[in-house]
Structure 1
Amino acid sequence: MLKKNFLCEEKTLLESIQLSRLPQLCQALVVSVGCSSDITCRLASLGLLPDKPVFVIRTTKRGAVVIRTNGMLLALSAGVAQKIFVKDAQHETE
């Protein structure tokens, strides 16, 4: 499967961005999950934690995403995906 670096096209972007803004077939590291405590706990139990890699499988125009993390596929609503911030997996030490 082809993996894109979401910084390839925008070299100046080094900060974290919303998961909902990543294009398809991009890999990133979770920076933070800013959802309600119930949703954050549920996502953590599914393995969506800070510093864990996620791979965006599919996105919709409205912001919903399907991601792969810990060998599982997760479908996230646009509202949840907007509250999850990620950074480029290649710049994890910055």
Structure 2
Amino acid sequence: MSDNRAKACSDAPSVEGKSCDEYPLATSQQGLSTGGERRSFDGCGLSNIPSQTGPTGVSICMISATDQSSQGGTNTQFYRGERVLQGDPFRVAIS
């Protein structure tokens, strides 16, 4: 869902070695394309984004580009390995 990624990170600063990361995952159907606002936190390198919480929208932060790329590969492997197709429900557990 490139629309989610574009709405979340299109104006993120260009910082060498960093990449804009968003949650919920841009590949999910729960990103900014469904509404809400962007939010961030101290230390994320996005001073123009408010620090707030809420039930809708996305959280964004500048992270290591290497970590971002690695996680993208992990997500792709999960979708393929579990045969998750566009629109299929899945749960993200954070531990």
Could you tell me the TM-score, scaled by structure 1's length?
0.26
Higher RCO (Cα < 8 Å, 6 or more apart): 1
More strand per residue: 1 or 2? 1
Whose Rg is larger?
Answer: 2
More helix per residue: 1 or 2? 2
Could you tell me the TM-score, scaled by structure 2's length?
0.26
